[in-house]
Amino acid sequence: MLIQRMTKFLVVYLDSFMYFRPANFIKRLFPYLIWNFSEEDVGRSVFITFDDGPTPEITPWVLDVLDKYDAKATFFCLGKNIELYPEIFQEVVRRGHAVGNHSYSHQKGWGMSLSRYIEDYNFAETFISTNLLRPPYARFTPRQIKVLSERYKIIMWDILTHDYNRAISRKRCLRAVTKNARPGSIIVFHDSKKSEKNLRYALPHALEFLKKEGYQCRRIEQ
Ligand SMILES: [Zn+2]
């Protein structure tokens, strides 16, 4: 119980400091999570990720923008959206991007039994085969995440653009990238309707910035 409360506190803490790198003590508390890669391993690369798709109004546009900048990315897809739009999902794979499991129905782990929580990822596997996973909302218990880590690489982030938040300006979304990108960064965008306004501005500008700064945008290897 105490551990659960501590976890909730820490994740809320993490949320409030969204533009900053997670503190080392948080990283130590969740050793199963990948927040970024080391420059030693990946050189001057960054890893752009997209959550919550595929979405017919957004994902095909995202794929074209990525192609324009010769960038590869990783898409953490929802099983329910792959079920609805299998041809868009296939196109993501065909264009050479990586895909990860973002669960079937986008539940928060808190207050959910271990078996129900895991079941949501298992069901997504009906539609996607991958060893990459990102938990929705970063709301999970240490036990849930430990069980998932036995089968998956769990990919978090060090740069959250908050593109889905309509109260945040599109320039602020872009600034999250331009101020914080460094070799090995994992950046979160969303290919969802909610993010459309911010994404259509921030994504091409971020790619332009990263290119100018000599970064290579790579997919996370499965
Ligand atoms: Zn999500």
Q: What is the pLDDT of residues 160-196, one digit of tens each?
A: 999 999 899 999 999 999 999 999 999 999 999 999 9
Q: Is 186 exposed, middle or buried (0-12, 13-18, 19+ CB in 10 A)?
A: buried
Whether the pLDDT of residue 3 is over 70: the answer is no
Share of the chain above pLDDT 90, in %: 81
For ligand 1, the distance from its centroid to the CA atom of residue 83, given in whole angstroms, is: 16
Q: Give domain limits for the chain.
A: 2-22+32-217
The Cα 142–Cα 17 span in angstroms is 20
For ligand 1, the distance from its centroid to the CA atom of residue 208, given in whole angstroms, is: 25
**Integer CA distances (angstroms), 194 to 49, 56, 191, 197, in order:** 16, 13, 8, 8
Active site residue 51: yes
CA atoms within 13 A on the CB side of 46: 24
- In degrees, to the nearest 5, what angle opens at C-alpha 11 toward C-alphas 8 and 17? 140
Judge if pTM exceeds 0.75: yes
Active site residue 205: no
Catalytic residue among 97, 102, 162, 190: 190
Q: What is the pLDDT of residues 92-139, one digit of tens each?
A: 999 999 999 999 999 999 889 999 999 999 999 999 999 999 999 988
Amino acid at 180: N
Q: Supply the CATH classification number for the domain 2-22+32-217.
A: 3.20.20.370
The confidence score (pLDDT) of residue 58 equals: 98
